[in-house]
Amino acid sequence: MSTVMNESPATEMKDRSAYSPGLEGVIAGESALCLVDEGEAGLLYRGYPIRELAEHSAFEEVAYLLLFAHLPNRQELANFSAQLIDRAVLPRLLEVFLGAVPSDAHPMDIVRSGVSLLGVVDSDTADNSHEANVYRSIGLLAQIPLMIAASYRLVTGKPRRRPHDDLTFAENLLYLLTDRREDDQAKAMARVLDVSLTLYAEHEFNASTFAARVTASTMTDLYSAITSAIGALKGPLHGGANEAVAEMFLDIGSRERAETWVREALVKKHRIMGFGHRVLKKGDARSIIIQRHAESLSRICGDHRWYEIATTVNRVMEQEKGLHPNLDFYTAVAYLLMGIPRELYTPLFVCSRITGWCAHVIEQQDHNRLMRPRALYTGPSRRDYVPLDHRS
């Protein structure tokens, strides 16, 4: 028989440390990259309001800001954009890998494995200097869209596309995924896509970013940290929300069905995707920005169905649950209008958030301390060991 002692290590730990499930509200580190605020500021990237960046800057400027800590001048932006075009080439090993993946492979698995393979072909992965990591970050920003588009086109039997020197990052991304680039609608779509990339680029210590920083704190290479982040983003509670919202809109089908559909779902206690946020309890400033652009794009495309469904669902959810839409909700409207395949919505998230992830990895390793939190023990108290032959 084992003897259970009265003193519990769990009790002792409870006395000296507060536990917050999911680390909610816990300050886990310092960062100069992003301020998530429910006040007037809404969201700041290195001090700049997200509203102003989305309205006046291209995504390339925002990516430069996150990586270099200042907004670029015209020459710096031109050089940065040229680097993105020059480095939009996949190594031979990646081409072989993309040609060999099963047709039913999850796109996020392809991206995760592709980034890991980039670490294999980089002969300098042991160099964790600031300069080396910035250089790798630019490479990832240039190569990940190619990786996503190439794998999708191989599976669907479509011809490969190459980025064009005269297109912006968002214009090239839209072209790689949908073949659209010349007409007025394509220009409008690319502008809204650019805004969405800016809005998704960074959001403090979310699950994938925190995973990247924990991995980076071991002083491993940047590719390993980004692979961790992609693995975390793949989870449906983090990165798949805009895809789930789009599927909901498709299931609803029309504005006339929307209110009944939502109310029936609420009665059945089904989760309505695209609402609420762990940090932003009073609403997501990014949602207001993308909603305006989704409405504008609906007018330009002459297709109001998705926006009308969305606004109806939005109204019912605010009435019944007091919940506000997050960024994913109206982004799904925009992506449906663009004709982007739904299975690529989360990989598209990677094309944007790679900037924030890399900036966090660089920041972590520039001022590193190994992350090693404690756990609140909930197992049995100390028990006496019983030799094998004496156990009943």
3-state secondary structure at position 324: coil
Quickly tell me which residue has 């394509």 as its tokens: 186
Q: What is the per-residue DSSP string for 80-91?
A: HHHHHHHT----
Spatial separation of the C-alpha atoms in residues 114 and 95, rounded to whole Å: 10
Is the distance from CB of 148 to CB of 354 less than 8 angstroms? no
Rounded to whole angstroms, the Cα distance separating 7 from 12 reads 8
Tokens of 285: 């400033």
367 is catalytic: no
* Residue of 277, 293, 324, 360 marked active site: 277
Residues 53, 55, 59: CA angle, nearest 5 degrees: 55
The letter for the amino acid at 23 is: L
Q: Which two tokens stand for residue 172?
A: 């090239």
Q: Among 194, 221, 284, 328, which one carries the catalytic annotation? A: 328
277 carries an active-site annotation: yes
- Name residue 275's beta-bridge partners: 325
- Alpha-carbon dihedral sign for residues 313, 315, 316, 318: positive
Return the bridge partners of 35, or none: 44
- On the 0-12 / 13-18 / 19+ scale of CB atoms within 10 A, 251 is exposed
* Strand order across the beta sheet in which 34-36 lies: 34-36, 43-45, 48-49
Q: Which residues are tagged catalytic?
A: 277, 328
